[in-house]
Amino acid sequence: MHAVSADHLLRVTEPGIQVLKAAGVAATLLPGTAAFLGLRRYAPARAMLAAGLTVALATDCNPGTCMTESMPLILHLACTQMQMSPDEALLAATMGGAAALARAAAVGSLRPGKQADLLILDCPNHLHLPYHVGINPVRTVLARGRVVVEDRHLVIPRPEGA
């Protein structure tokens, strides 16, 4: 089918994981949906990572199955319910997400030649993202190399020459 990514994957089997791996399909996991719907089953992230599958994490924010925009909550669920390490979860939320959108060559990591999209967070290190949930740690946002949020306030761009 030439798919770039497959989403949810709550009930994917080991043979299914191998098919995704062979096809180069990124597995986009949405742990917020399992939590929101009260399911006791989450996607088998450990098996996917062990198979070498590219894993992405996302919120799937929508009124039917997951009412959160909080990536720290998603990282928390990935670590506590899917046994991902904080490093694996952060990689899945950045590089994995870019891969799932077929945009890894342009975004998803800080490298020369890539689009400068980044967050500056008010936390001592990345381990606090899945650990300290329920807060917004974002202090500054850069999109395409331009500051769009500074000190938690939207920056209104001034017209050129102003």
Structure tokens that stand for 92 in this block: 């899945």
Nearest in space to 30 (alpha carbons), one of 74, 72, 63 = 74
Secondary structure (DSSP) of 88-110: HHHHIIIIIHHHHTT-TTTSSS-
Model confidence, pTM: 0.91
Distance CA 60, CA 88 (A): 19
Supply the pLDDT for residue 162: 61
Identify the pLDDT of residue 116.
Answer: 87
Return the domain boundaries, the chain: 5-154
Using DSSP's 3-state secondary structure scheme, residue 34 falls into helix
Per-residue pLDDT, 132: 87
Tokens of 97: 């997400």
On whether the 5-154 domain is CATH 3.20.20.140, my answer is: yes
Closest CA to 68 of 112, 34, 39, 96: 34
pLDDT tens, the chain, 162 aa long = 889 999 999 999 999 999 999 999 999 999 999 999 999 999 999 999 999 999 999 999 999 999 999 999 999 999 999 999 999 999 999 999 999 999 999 999 989 999 989 999 999 999 999 998 888 999 999 999 999 999 999 998 777 766
